[in-house]
Structure 1
């Protein structure tokens, strides 16, 4: 067994205080996202998306956040993918934004709701044409005999759509994650990290400090 127990460092980027927190967690998320972009982090919109299958087995994968507002967080995917299949059975979902260079994490729990075709199309037409074609090519999460099969299919579809616009595949969609909780984690010295969780209720958002 490889021992990794001696790998550690101090977290010194700064703290997070209750007095600094807005009443709406999305306002703080927007501030942190802008700071992550300004710091030129690699893929600041990358989030770990966790879903659960019908046997209770959790699965995680990295997905790019494409939009957020007061309603929640939006991402897009193949509707035949493992994540989409699992969300159809169990809409509970968890997101994690791992902004390590800023010594920050944001963890979200909530419910994933399918987007309307109009909302999906509005985003799909903004994608580069190669990405639109790739959506037609990949039966996401299905097994492939070889990469050449995927590349050949891409070239076939690229030729098919070379003369015009790429239509929206019926099997490609997106989700709005309506959050029930959002936790903000800021690293602190001596492992005394600052953690605040916003939890949604009928009255609005309640804020609590969590022990590190």
Structure 2
């Protein structure tokens, strides 16, 4: 009797393992899928701003403190052979944590990292300025992420972009948010400051995403 039951037992274990592996494979596929159909996006250009509301507790905290729909922002620095976003981040890529990195748009907008994204084009910058801003930003790749108040050395997602723009347009300015929180004190620059500018064109969604 035992000899007859044993092969059946092995078969059931094998089926259970196969089912578990398939579930894990499907979960991984879901985790890495983009939250938007990238082929449906308008043609992007170097210098476009890509906003993101992240999925982490940290992202929710940043958005709530800044009263923003977004917790993160990056810049398009390449469009061929695929769209590349350069941004200062803590944990988008575990192999390159706490630094300025390049991310493919498909990864930047994966539902592992993003609840929503929006894309805007600054209308106040020329194509030549956008190219130089892109070069300035990509030159910062691998430099460490530094979240600190305005008066101290800093390099995080918004200041990476703001500093690059200011080099090309010295009168460029954004409102900094003065915080008196337990973990944040002083002035910080939030993505909402970029989203509220009136001299940008919203490409995706094609509406004013700063208020929706």
Does the alignment reach a TM-score above 0.5? no
Structure number with the higher strand fraction is: 1
The TM-score, its normalising length taken from structure 2, stands at: 0.28
Structure number with the higher helix fraction is: 2
The TM-score, its normalising length taken from structure 1, stands at: 0.28
